[in-house]
Amino acid sequence: MTSFGVRLRDAMREHGPLCVGIDPHPPLLRSWGLSEDVTGLKAFTDACVDAFAGRVALVKPQVAFFETYGSGGIMVLEDAIAALREAGTLVLADAKRGDIGSTMDAYAHAWLGDGPLGSDAVTVSPYLGFGSLTPALDLAAANGRGVFVLAATSNPEGAQLQRITGPDGRSIAQLMVDEAAARNAGGEFGSVGVVVGATLTEAPDLGALNGPILMPGVGAQGGGAESIRNLVSEKDFGSVVPNVSREVLRAGPSVGALQVRVHRLTDEFGFLQA
């Protein structure tokens, strides 16, 4: 079984480093001329799948926007995950799950198992303690899937917790990166990634991670090539996965226009693969 980390690295070499989001929030549905219901959600999502399948390294549906519509929305998400994976495109479910014991185990099986929501990777929150993620980390390893751990997020509220330092002088964010690095140590490119906001003014030390660095906040939120250069050392450029959502999606509803925007941004971040 080829690990998620290796599959992601191969996909980044083939298609470029971008992770493109599918974020069907109401203002985008309206701007595309779509109704704010399951019908509009499906039309939006189908266009994104058509535009991105086979063209980008990673696609990240934002689960919350599908949950809003109840069972109908979840069916749309299930269909999108299946279509992308059938096309050979890696899927990162942006579910940000975090809990303990049997509940975390259930979340892990929902998103990293072989059920209808099973994806190539899932985002998780470690702020009940990194050890609480063990069910997801273990199942991901067993199934050749990946996990992206929230480490240093770009929302202003995040600093209240993530920048606290412990007795050893490390910030909480750095501790999360180091715990992820321990999971990736001693092997090929790891399958435990971290999430680090591209709009931060400083980032944890990522040099030992040996895994993917998902960097949201690119484009509409103000992050870009220069901010990534300021946050990540050049030797770690090849691990960076810039996450773009609105910057691409506002080019819709034309599938062709979405693809043109993806192509332009892929060129913009080509330096990460140099």
Sign of the dihedral through C-alpha 118, 122, 128, 133: positive
What pLDDT score was predicted for residue 83? Answer: 98
- 42, 60, 96, 235: the active-site residue: 96
What pLDDT score was predicted for residue 202? Answer: 87
Q: Which residue has the higher pLDDT, 4 or 225?
A: 4
What digits encode the pLDDT tens for the residues 186-213? 889 999 999 999 999 889 999 999 999 9
Domain ranges, ordered by start, for the chain:
4-268
Per DSSP, 115 falls in state S
Q: What is the mean pLDDT of residues 176-186?
A: 97
What digits encode the pLDDT tens for the residues 98-150? 999 999 999 999 999 999 999 999 999 999 999 999 999 999 999 999 999 99
Residue 42 has pLDDT above 80, yes or no: yes
What pLDDT score was predicted for residue 173? Answer: 96
| 112: amino acid identity, one letter | L
Half-sphere exposure of residue 208: CA atoms within 13 angstroms, side-chain side: 14
The alpha helices in the chain, defined as continuous H runs, are 4-15, 26-31, 38-52, 63-67, 70-86, 101-112, 134-143, 159-162, 172-184, 225-231, 246-249, 255-268
What digits encode the pLDDT tens for the residues 43-67? 999 999 999 999 999 999 999 999 9
What digits encode the pLDDT tens for the residues 206-248? 999 999 999 998 766 677 888 899 899 999 999 999 999 999 9
Least reliable range by pLDDT among 9-13, 76-80, 228-232:
228-232
Residue with tokens 């300021």: 230
Q: What is the mean pLDDT of residues 169-183?
A: 97
What pLDDT score was predicted for residue 225? Answer: 85
Record the pTM: 0.96
Best CA proximity match to 56, nearest among 98, 97, 110, 92: 92
60 is catalytic: no
What pLDDT score was predicted for residue 214? Answer: 98
Residue with tokens 């509803």: 253
Question: How many CB atoms neighbour CB 201 within 10 A?
Answer: 9
The CATH architecture annotation of domain 4-268 reads Alpha-Beta Barrel (3.20)
Per DSSP, 120 falls in state S
Best CA proximity match to 133, nearest among 102, 162, 104: 104
Sign of the dihedral through C-alpha 197, 134, 94, 53: positive
Cβ(214)–Cβ(194) under 8 Å?
yes
What pLDDT score was predicted for residue 170? Answer: 95
Rounded to whole angstroms, what are the CA distances from 210 to 11, 17, 251? 17, 16, 34
Tell me the percentage of the chain whose pLDDT exceeds 70: 98
